[in-house]
Structure 1
Amino acid sequence: MYIKRHTKIIHYSLKEIKGAGKGTQMKTEFVIVTGISGAGKSCAVNVMEDIGYFCIDNMPPQLIPKFAEICEENDDISKVAIVTDIRGGTMFLNLNATIEELKKCGLDVKLLFVDANHHVVKQRYKETRRKHPLFDVTNGDIDKAIDAEREIIEPLREIADYYIDTSLMSTSTLKENVLNIFLDTPSDSMTISCISFGFKYGVPNEADLVFDVRCLPNPYYIPELKEKSGLDKEVRDYVMSFESSQTLQTKLFDLIDFLIPQYLHEGKSQLVIAFGCTGGKHRSATFAENMCEHLSKNHLKARVLHRDVNKDKK
């Protein structure tokens, strides 16, 4: 541990917020963005700014309640995204207490955690030649700096309302993920993302539910379907022409239909359902598309993302 932990909880002056909470409904949506340095928080916030969020980078947790008071008095600000992370030093350690205090005062506050694995973060720092926030306190050891930050920030990942792992994501894919979560999404509803992926590229860490559909017949071995994907009707028709595919889909629909009310009851804000096949191009894409259609027909906010569908294109 390289930053001394503070156990004292700071009691913020939230008189105006508490007073407003007694007689009026809080109108401002707050998203606190945090996560591992180098994971892509800045990119995520840039996307949020493009869709109408008032964004602030590197605000210490102690200032967030005061800023919340200002926002509640301003009718022009309805959506706010605040980045706070390890750059705040010891001040950052009070973020959990700040979030709890804001929620107790009736504010609509959500936590977005942006993550990436150790190897990817280290490689990004090498490519950009930027200095990690804990570079000096670890005597220039980037591995120790990354490990130290993760130890400090891990508890926040566990309480996050939204989680994005960018380890295997391009910038455009990260942008699509952020849009899927926040674009025209009411703060009190659950966003369901249906992801297709290839096991040979790795399982998406952000997935809540992972289903392996490699047990089904593979269109890859059909010459006229090999270069197509589950976005094409011919491929989807082929995959779903088998009784095993139809039975599996029916059972998956029943399972998800049962689980969603349970997740909603527990207050879950984001559900990621991932379907994997070998390359993430045919079977997984078919099932992701079909699941998204099924959920949309049930009037749920569902979106589809095909992570690896174009990776084998020449």
Structure 2
Amino acid sequence: MADTGPHVATVEIISFGYLHAAPPPAHLTIDLRAHFRDPHISPELRHMTAHDEPVRTTVLTTPGIEQLLKATAAAVVALLSGPSADGATIASGCAGGRHRAPVFAQYLANRLRNSGIRVALTHRDLDKPVMTRDGEPSR
């Protein structure tokens, strides 16, 4: 078998919603529910997703989010620096998985890619129905 060169670790980033299912297994899980502005509370943003600019702007202008992105990127670098590092899985979760978590995941992925890290990004619940706080689909 031919040598394909050094193994390059991949960081898997998964966004998800706690109201849809249990968090995915991860080395690091970022829970965005309690500390960051939820676009869901604004009726005009509720049925939008992280694909929509008003949602991204709302999430990214929340105080503390830039510091959390920077700290999470630093944590990923630390995980990859370990002696047996073979990649890492980072999960970012919010209530429904349509707003905060996927925006955070996308911007974390961009930051890591810009620093030369290979990233696989999955939005587990982005296209699922809008949920209410009691776990029921919104009408």
TM bin, normalised by shorter chain, reads 0.7 to 0.9
Displacement of 1:224 in angstroms is: 1.9
Give 2:23's aligned residue: 203
**1:229 & 1:245 partners in 2: Cα distance?**
18
**1:300 & 1:294 partners in 2: Cα distance?**
9
Residue 248 (structure 1) aligned to one of 56, 68, 71: 68
CA RMSD in angstroms, aligned pairs only: 2.1
Residue 312 (structure 1) aligned to one of 121, 129, 135: 129
Deviation digits for residues 198-242 of structure 1 (CA, Å, limit 9, x no counterpart): 11221113x221111112110001122111112322211111112
**1:195 & 1:223 partners in 2: Cα distance?**
26
> Structure 2 matches for 1:156-305, cutoff 5 A?
188-200=7-19, 201-205=21-25, 207-214=26-33, 215-262=35-82, 265-268=83-86, 270-305=87-122
Displacement of 1:267 in angstroms is: 4.2
Change (3 A) 1:267 1:255: closer
Displacement of 1:246 in angstroms is: 2.2
Identical pairs, percent? 28
From the two aligned structures, give the one with the greater helix fraction. 1
Q: Which residue type is aligned with residue 227 of structure 1?
A: H
Larger radius of gyration: 1
Under a length normalisation based on structure 2, what TM-score does the superposition of the two structures give?
0.81
Kept in 2: contact 1:230–1:236 (CA 8 A): yes
Displacement of 1:301 in angstroms is: 0.8
**2:119 & 2:8 partners in 1: Cα distance?**
11
Task: Show structure 1 runs of 5+ residues with no match.
Answer: 1-25, 30-185
- Larger relative CO (CA 8 A, sep 6+): 1 or 2? 2
Kept in 2: contact 1:194–1:303 (CA 8 A): yes
